[in-house]
Amino acid sequence: MVEFIFDPHNTTPSTIGLIDEVETALGTPVQAAVKREDELEFAKRNARNLMFCEDAARKLKAALLKREDVTDFNIEVRHFESLHAHDVVAKVRKHD
């Protein structure tokens, strides 16, 4: 989850542009729904770019700190566990 506050004096950026920037920062595209035939390629790509939730949160924060149009943000990175009774969560804000 990412919440943004934009500078009202700037033009609001495109949603697609923000998604592209997040994917670039993480090095992995968003995978909401994947066709079965694409699962192997996503698994290979993810295996080449391993990171913990904390790493992902730091990368997103670094990318958003470079944007002058974002005056504040709150990021929550969550790994939904399938093997354990709990999820892994990392949170960062602009002013941490």
Domains annotated on the chain, with CATH: 2-93 (3.10.270.10)
Q: What pLDDT digit, counting tens, does each position of 15-27 carry?
A: 888 888 888 998 8
Q: Tens of pLDDT along 31-82?
A: 667 777 777 887 788 788 888 999 999 999 999 999 888 889 999 998 877 6
CA nearest to 64, candidates 73, 55, 56: 73
What is the distance, to the nearest Å, from the Cα of residue 84 to the centroid of all Cα atoms in its chain?
A: 22
- Please provide residue 90's backbone torsions phi and psi, each rounded to the nearest 5 degrees: -130, 135
DSSP 46: H
